[in-house]
Amino acid sequence: MPAFTTDSYLIPKLDDDSVFEFETEVKKSRFIIFLKKAQSRTDALKLQSDLKGLYPDASHHCLAFVAGPPEGNTVIGFDDDGEPGGTAGKPMLNVLQHKKIGEIVAVVVRYFGGTKLGAGGLIRAYGSAVQAAVDHLPVMERIAMIEGQLQTAYQNEQGIRYTLGILGGSIVNSQYTDDVMLELALPESLKLDFESRVTESCKGQVTFKWPDKKC
């Protein structure tokens, strides 16, 4: 049986292959920040690897990512990439989590400018660099969707498809036997509205099956 997604949350408003770039400077050290959508640890590590190839002469390529919803059970991680432990990746991750943006990876490419910043200076520099980049990043809401099934007579299918369409849903699969069985997806917040409209249009001759818990 299909399951609920998590609640709605913000994600980068970027194409899957697009990378957002922002640059700042602290005591002559260059901090070039790259932000990209990431749905897995593999996605995040690939961006870091790609940037190491593009900027091989940089001092560090530090990483932080939230590969899923910003809250709850999700995959997170960070890498200081040679900076003193806890001075780069962790403050970068703190910013992403504080801003409550999911499905995002941040890589900061640093070119050392000759002046040592110290542990506290590095924490502030990496954190503020990602903060500034995220403040300029276009974001959008990822709408929580629910998937379920319904069974009804053939003559009701066209009306159901129309109702589903105007509510921002879609048909995932369909099966035809004595009745029609439709697997569908729609915004979770509109589930009760959809049920009400379809029940009325089908004169009650419809059966719904929804998952009973989130995951």
Alpha-carbon distance 142 to 140, whole Å?
6
* Pair (129, 184) in one structural domain: no
Q: Are 184 and 145 in contact (CB under 8 A)?
A: no
What is the reported pLDDT for 187? 87
What does the pLDDT read at residue 106?
98
Find residue 185's DSSP bridge partners: 147, 170
The CATH number of the domain holding residue 167 is 3.30.70.240
Inside any domain, residue 49: yes
**Over its length of 215 residues, how does the chain's per-residue pLDDT go in tens digits?**
233 344 678 999 999 899 999 999 999 999 999 999 999 999 999 999 999 999 999 999 999 999 988 876 679 999 999 999 999 999 999 999 999 999 999 999 999 988 999 999 999 999 999 999 999 999 998 888 889 999 999 999 999 999 999 998 999 999 999 999 999 999 888 899 999 999 999 999 999 998 864 43
CATH number for 29? 3.30.230.30
Element (H, E) at 123: helix 118-136
In terms of Cα–Cα distance, which of 137, 184, 142 is closest to 164? 184
Q: Could you count the other beta carbons within 10 Å of the beta carbon of residue 77?
A: 15
Q: Do 50 and 119 sit in the same domain of this protein?
A: yes
Measure the CA–CA gap between 76 and 98, rounded to whole angstroms. 13
* Whole-prediction pTM: 0.72
CB-based contacts of 177: which residues, under 8 Å, 6+ apart?
A: none
pLDDT for res 212: 65
- What integer pLDDT is reported at residue 7 of this predicted model? 64
Domain count, the chain: 2
Among residues 100, 106, 97, 40, which one has the least CA distance to residue 68?
40
The parent domain of residue 80 ranges over: 9-141
pLDDT of residue 79: 97
